[in-house]
């Protein structure tokens, strides 16, 4: 296959690595709305869902070709953040460009005179299929591989797998593998009596059936019949300062697009700020949580100031996950409500307010 031709594979891996260094934008895709202009350092991130679809696809193919867990981390970050934030929660439409902050994203325009057609919208179902087909795979040695942990039910060859636990919001995942000894139905390869579990880079630690996991993968034997595995993740919030790259600029006008969205006028940032992560989730301040406009947009950034952050679970309706973020440095403290970025921003509402910047 082309993806396993060594020279081609090396070239693609090097291109992806270069994009990650300079163009991995703040919401998890690459580029600034289709342009490679030092997006990793831009304080105004905006990314097209079409780009997210193909970024996810290239990382999926690289994982299948190399077995490297890093590509699954990259894929997962893009899916839970840049992608899901652009799929509107009513399921009827989506974004043409996902913004890091503002009142709403640029909504996908109908194309070529068709009321139900736009390239980003057309690509969204493909991404959902790609994610589903990435959950399980089989290694060259025949071992079953569990790659993603969102609730799922599926088969890989003759192995039937069920995953529950509410990942990425829950910290305990149950995986049940119904295993039968025999030949794999995947490429005719022999099926080993082994299952591997990815250890995502987002967490402080992982235990498999109570035993600590080291390295990118955990391995366990499979017996005939039902096998039950419990994966428990430990996580803490990660406050990440801005990236500095020579030649990067704010691209304020291109970000606001005030001719299309007048309510965005003046909301572009001119200075960098920090971001807050919890596992693979990018967190955001949101009007949906009752956070004020001043807290969302007009704040003194903690970027580069050495603050620490803790999260306390928060009950909130209308979002998938919510916390109170408490920031502290010496005697200086403050707190603000936060939720997952997708929940904060997945609607076409000019009255909405959200921001990933702190």
- Strand locations in 165-241 (E): 172-179, 194-198, 205-208, 211-212, 217-221, 225-234, 238-240
Q: What's the mean pLDDT in 261-278?
A: 96
Mean pLDDT of 257-273: 95
Q: What is the predicted pLDDT for the residue at 191?
A: 64
Q: If you compute the radius of gyration of the chain from its CA atoms, what whole number of angstroms results?
A: 21
pLDDT confidence band for 116 (50 / 70 / 90): confident
| Number of Cβ atoms within 10 Å of the Cβ of 314 | 15
**Looking at the DSSP assignment, which residues form a beta bridge with residue 125?**
none
Give the pLDDT band (50/70/90) at residue 183: low
pLDDT band at 107 (very low <50, low <70, confident <90, very high): very high
Mean pLDDT of the chain: 94
CB burial string 132-157: b at 16+ within 10 A, e below: eebbbbbeeebbbbbbbbbebeeebb
Question: Sorting pLDDT into bands at 50, 70 and 90, what band is 20?
Answer: very high
Question: At 217, is the pLDDT very low, low, confident or very high (cuts 50, 70, 90)?
Answer: very high
Quickly count: other Cβ atoms within 10 Å of residue 13's Cβ: 16
pLDDT tens digits for range 147-160: 999 999 999 998 99
List of residues 6+ apart from 320 with CB closer than 8 A: 169, 339, 340, 342, 343
Band of the pLDDT at 77, cuts 50, 70, 90? very high
Distance CA 246, CA 226 (A): 55
Q: What mean pLDDT do residues 95-117 have?
A: 93
| pLDDT for residue 315 | 95
Q: Do 142 and 191 touch, CB atoms closer than 8 A? A: yes
pLDDT (0 to 100) of residue 310? 98
Per-residue model confidence as pLDDT tens digits over 326-341? 999 999 999 999 999 9
Sequence-distant (6+) residues with CB within 8 A of 7 are: none
Averaged pLDDT, 232-253: 95
């Amino acid at each position: 296959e082309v993806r396993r031709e060594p020279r081609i594979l090396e070239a693609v891996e090097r291109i992806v690595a270069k994009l990650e260094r300079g163009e991995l934008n703040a919401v998890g895709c690459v580029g600034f709305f289709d342009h490679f202009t030092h997006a990793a350092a831009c304080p105004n991130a905006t990314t097209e869902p079409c780009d997210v679809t193909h970024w996810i696809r290239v990382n999926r193919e690289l994982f299948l070709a190399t077995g490297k867990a890093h590509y699954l981390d990259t894929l997962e970050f893009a899916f839970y953040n840049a992608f899901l934030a652009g799929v509107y929660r009513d399921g009827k439409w989506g974004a043409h460009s996902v913004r890091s902050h503002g009142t709403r994203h640029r909504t996908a325009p109908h194309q070529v005179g068709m009321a139900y057609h736009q390239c980003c919208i057309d690509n969204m179902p493909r991404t959902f299929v790609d994610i589903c087909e990435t959950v399980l795979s089989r290694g060259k040695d025949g071992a079953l591989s569990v790659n993603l942990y969102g609730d799922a039910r599926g088969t890989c060859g003759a192995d039937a797998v069920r995953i529950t636990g509410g990942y990425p919001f829950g910290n305990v995942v149950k995986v049940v593998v119904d295993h039968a000894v025999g030949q794999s139905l995947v490429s005719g390869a022999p099926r080993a009596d082994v299952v591997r579990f990815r250890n995502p880079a987002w967490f402080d630690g992982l235990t498999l059936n109570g035993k600590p996991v080291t390295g990118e993968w955990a391995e366990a034997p499979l017996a005939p019949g039902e096998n039950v595995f419990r994966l428990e993740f430990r996580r803490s919030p990660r406050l990440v300062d801005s990236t500095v790259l020579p030649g990067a600029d704010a691209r304020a006008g291109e970000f606001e697009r005030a001719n299309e969205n007048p309510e965005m006028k003046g909301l572009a940032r001119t200075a960098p700020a920090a971001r807050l992560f919890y596992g693979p989730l990018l967190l955001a301040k949101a009007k949906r949580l009752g956070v004020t406009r001043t807290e969302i947009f007009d704040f003194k950034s903690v970027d580069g100031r050495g603050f620490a952050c803790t999260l306390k679970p928060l009950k909130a309706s209308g979002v998938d996950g919510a916390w109170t973020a408490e920031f502290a440095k010496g005697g200086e403290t403050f707190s603000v409500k936060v939720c997952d970025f997708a929940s904060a921003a997945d609607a076409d509402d000019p009255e909405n307010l959200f921001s990933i910047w702190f």
